[in-house]
Structure 1
Amino acid sequence: MTTDVPTLGRNALPRGVRLGYGSGSVATGAFGTVPGLMLLPFLTDTLGIAALWAGLIVFAPKAWDVLLNPVAGRISDRTVDPRGPRRPWLLRAGLLLAAGFALIFAVPEFGSKGLEATWVLVAFLATATAYAFFQVPYVAMPAEITDSYDERTRLMTWRVAILALTIMLAGATAPLIRNAFDGRTGYAVMGAVMALVIAAGATAAYAGTRHAPVVTVEAGTGSLGEQLKVVASSTNFRVLLVTFVVQALATGAMLAGVDYLAEEVLGSTAATTVLFVCFVGPALVLTPLWARIGARIGKRQGFTLSSLVLASGALLASTALVAPSWVVFAAVGLVGVGYAGCQVFPMAMLPDAAAVDAHVTGENRIGVYTGVWTAGETFGLALGPSLFALVLTLGDYRSSTDGSAVQPDSALTAITVGFSVVPALLVVASLWWLRRYSLTAADVEAALAAATTPTPKDTE
């Protein structure tokens, strides 16, 4: 493994590189938040699509990403470019991601629910494809630009802080932009504004990482299927992935339920913005604290603690039908505190597992690792809204083209349970897999030392 920035070293990174890398979360945060928040209500309450079918439309393109992400990882592993194997994809795919995002919500009036649903499905599918080729190389970069166990946590702290800020701003302003216009126009304008935000984030990540170390590692041998088997054989990676996917499922369900909880249960369209501020505000303040906690007690223990905090907040939110609004807002704030840690720790643990494999084998499978990872994350986040839509269907939720349908008590109960109890149970269940994760700082440093210690043949 070599680098063209030998004076920098492979441990500490300049603040500018940390900020530049973290800015990519502006693109991933906007794309991950706004469709999860706005697309299901757009389909059910503006286009008049039944909740079950709407859930399938939201799920299908991201299910495609589950298959595509490992391929995107393998392609980026084999990319040969003076800028490195990952950076070119940040710009190429990032701009396509922005263009596709605008099209999702710019649905022409065909006069047919089927044609309009097809437009959304095709546009979302194309956008999800671009996202795979942005997200996979983006997530792979930390394992290559630093060998430091602690530096990866610091790098993830920047990323998660910017991600939390993006979630708050995008999640809070998207409903406001939509509500400033009538019907479809509001969604189309919102989509265009968010597309500009995504383009800015992708461009900033590309420009901001231009001084990051560029490494050369031999690409993994064998077919994609053979490499996937090697990746699957890593127990630490496997259990970490399952934990993260189950929690992504929980997060996706909560995100899909925000608009419904605000309008139908709390009775206020403005509550959507308040819920997002309550969710992300604590995360912005406490993300560095989670990093310090992880340095003190370990990443796995920090991940466990933050998961329990998130689950506790979700359970408290189950009182939404009877409690004052401030209790619900406080509960969502507690969810935000836990969510910050649930992003920092796994995203810092992933490059540890991938880098240990690269140092031990001398082959670059980091793209495949992150391809599988982002496929799992995408699957969980996509299945979350579908799970929430299923709960709505079981509660007899009534779709409309103008959002005026009166919901029965069973639908209000379904909204509350889908937003709170179901995600809490999923997060707690995910810890059953996390307990088997055993990789420590000592393991990472030992692998690095073994990879960099000259052998007799090297010294000849």
Structure 2
Amino acid sequence: MSPTGLPARVRIGYGLGSFATGTFGTVPGLLLLYYLTDVLGIGAGLAGLLVFLPKAWDVLFNPWVGARSDRSTRSRLGPRRSWMLLGALTLPVCFAGMFAAPAGLEGGPAATYVAALFLLSASAYACFQVPYVALPAELTADPDERARVMAWRVAFLAVAILLSGSVAPVLADAGGYRLMGVVIGALLAAGMLAAVCATAGTRSVVRTTSEAGLRAQLRAARGNAPFGWLFGAYVVQAAASGLMLAGTQYFATYILGRPGATTVLFACLIVPSLLAMPLWLAMGRRTGKRNAALGASVCFLLGALGAAAGRELPTALIYAAVAVAGIGYAGMQMLPLAMLGDAIAADAYTSGRRRAGVLTGLWTAGETLGLALGPGLFGLVLALGGFVSSDATDRVTQPGSALTAIIIGFGALPALLLALSLPLLARYRLTESELIRLRADFDASFAPGEHQEPTQRDEESA
């Protein structure tokens, strides 16, 4: 058990939920477009639209789920767990069904089938993800303990990305997409149910009333300065990460001249992030989470600049540059999430309202938007560079302008976005000492015994 009383099983079990978030964030982006165009025979334009629309839906649906989960305080599993359980029971089924289109289904009917299942999958995922992200702010009031919880989460997230990104294509090639959907669906279920079971019964340490209505909560979010600056920086950095991930295959194929190098580049980005977790956790304790997050961002920026010199550097140095970006990527994932928990806790202490759900709903919607924006920007850069499309059996020689566009999209533009995010991140000024002071003031505002969970009347009036 931690010094603050949070059992190790809760920290680890919570982290296991990232097997689901990392897997669902990786596999559809990796395989769904190809499944639509090369298995179901759907046109590329329509297929691209089908992949994007659920991301747009998340921007609207996630805050609604967050607002509803803020009011789910009476479940026997504990606050928010009923929503997480709903997602855990529905997402695996919808995901497996998405890759199991009925035999003979093609064209428009196939597009309708996959679109419906993908929309249901995205909605089920939001039911789990939004309250899942909100949970750390309510599991512990200790900022350092919250950072330890985030370290477990991001470690499992990196493992899930590496594992699912490697195994899913192999399963699809060897046993077909139906088998892949079932196996990955089982992995999703295992991660989500582990998080629900491990945290079941734990009570919220932030004892507040829920805010009345979604609009009121959105107004409150706009007035939360630490959340606003952190949110802006995180969305910009998500777009930078999305750019680099989207460009990996192009960089390996056309710059390195080795399509198989995609796996090596992917490993260079993810494996160092696993090793760097303790480093960023220790630095966050010593210098503060914001300063450590700035250091991680600069680290990613330097790695992206190295990748931008890909046409001049030896291959080994390119791999090293991507590994440096991977080290920074670990801190860019772990530290802002821990800072988000602090911002949510500070909001509860200053407002006396339960708004974690809507704040994390906005957060996950922004993350989704940023990750979708990255590939969109990369495609735009390729188009401006005159990239010539082709099939795998008849690859054409790209003009020099297209190769330059790949370099810009994979390295230079992510570095620019990271540079733009630094001033936003620097405006986040919620320190650990300030959070402790806010908590003390909040505790002092109640007489002994006045800390109560929201009543049924509170929930109904909300």
What's the TM-score once normalised by structure 2's chain length? 0.88
* Aligned AA (1:175): P
1:65 matched residue in structure 2 = 58
Tell me how far apart the structure 1 counterparts of residues 244 and 108 of structure 2 sit (CA, whole Å): 27
Give the CA deviation at 1:29: 0.5
Q: Which SS does the other structure have where 1:406 is aligned?
A: coil
Q: Tell me which of the two structures has the higher relative contact order, counting C-alpha pairs closer than 8 angstroms and 6 or more residues apart.
A: 1
Classify 1:337/1:150 alpha carbon distance in 2 versus 1 (closer, same or farther; 3 Å).
same
One of 117, 122, 131 as aligned partner of 1:128: 122
Residues in 1 aligned to 2:189 and 2:109: alpha-carbon distance in whole angstroms = 28
Aligned positions of 1:397-416 closer than 5 A? 397-398=387-388, 404-406=394-396, 408-409=398-399, 410-416=401-407
In structure 2, the partner of 1:452 is: 443
**Aligned equivalent of 1:326:** 316
Judged with a 3 Å threshold, the aligned counterparts in structure 2 of structure 1 residues 458 and 163 are, in CA distance, closer, same or farther, namely: closer
Distance 1:355 1:420 in 2: 36
How far apart, CA to CA, are the structure 1 residues paired with 2:99 and 2:136?
33
CA distance in 1, matches of 2:103, 2:246: 25
What do the CA deviations read for 1:51-78 (whole angstroms, capped 9, x no partner)?
Answer: 6655443322111101111100111111
Match of 1:280 among 263, 270, 279: 270
When residues 47 and 304 of structure 1 are mapped into structure 2, their CA distance, relative to the original with a 3 A threshold, is: farther
Partner residue in 2 for 1:434: 425
Q: Give the Å deviation of 1:85.
A: 2.2
Q: CA deviation at 1:39?
A: 3.7
Q: Which runs of 5+ in 1 are unaligned?
A: 1-7
**Residue 236 of structure 2 corresponds to which residue in structure 1?**
246
The 10-residue stretch of structure 1 (219-228 or 294-303) with the greater mean CA deviation from structure 2? 219-228
Counterpart amino acid of 1:431?
A: L
Show the counterpart of 1:89.
Answer: 83
Question: Are 1:234 and 2:191 matched, yes or no?
Answer: no
Aligned equivalents of 1:125, 1:451: Cα separation in 2: 41
Q: Deviations over 1:428-459 (max 9, x none)?
A: 11112112111001111011111112556979
2:224 alignment partner AA: S
Deviation at 1:22, TM superposition (A): 0.3
Residue 171 (structure 1) aligns with: 165
In the alignment, the residues of structure 1 paired with residue 178 and residue 384 of structure 2 have an alpha-carbon distance, to the nearest angstrom, of 30
User: Any conservation in 2 of the 1:359–1:447 contact (CA below 8 Å)?
Assistant: yes
| Identity fraction in percent | 48
The answer to whether 1:76 aligns with 2:66 is no
State the one-letter code of the partner of 1:19. I
Whole-Å Cα distance in 1 between the matches of residues 31 and 256 of structure 2?
17
Matching of residue 299 in structure 1 with residue 292 in structure 2? no
Displacement after TM superposition at 1:370 (Å): 0.9
Deviations 1:358-377 (A, max 9, x none): 12222211111111111111
> CA offsets, 1:392-426, max 9 Å, x none?
33344455676644352344443333222222211
Specify the SS of the correspondent of 1:420: helix
Residues 76 and 380 of structure 1: CA distance in aligned 2, closer, same or farther (over 3 Å): same
**2:144 aligned counterpart, secondary structure:** helix
The Cα of 1:203 is off from its aligned counterpart by 1.3
**CA distance in structure 1 between the partners assigned to 2:40 and 2:382 by the alignment:** 17
Q: CA deviation at 1:19?
A: 0.2
For residues 406 and 424 of structure 1, what CA distance do their matches in structure 2 show? 29
CA 1:280–1:228: 2 relative to 1, 3 Å? same
Residue identity opposite 1:97 in structure 2? L
Q: Which amino acid aligns with 1:246?
A: V
Q: Which amino acid aligns with 2:300?
A: L
1:98 matched to 2:113? no
Distance 1:111 1:23, change over 3 A: closer
How much does 1:123 deviate? Answer: 2.7
* Cα distance change on mapping 1:171 and 1:301 into 2, 3 Å: same
Verify: 1:370 aligned to 2:364, yes or no: no
Give the AA of the match of 2:4.
N
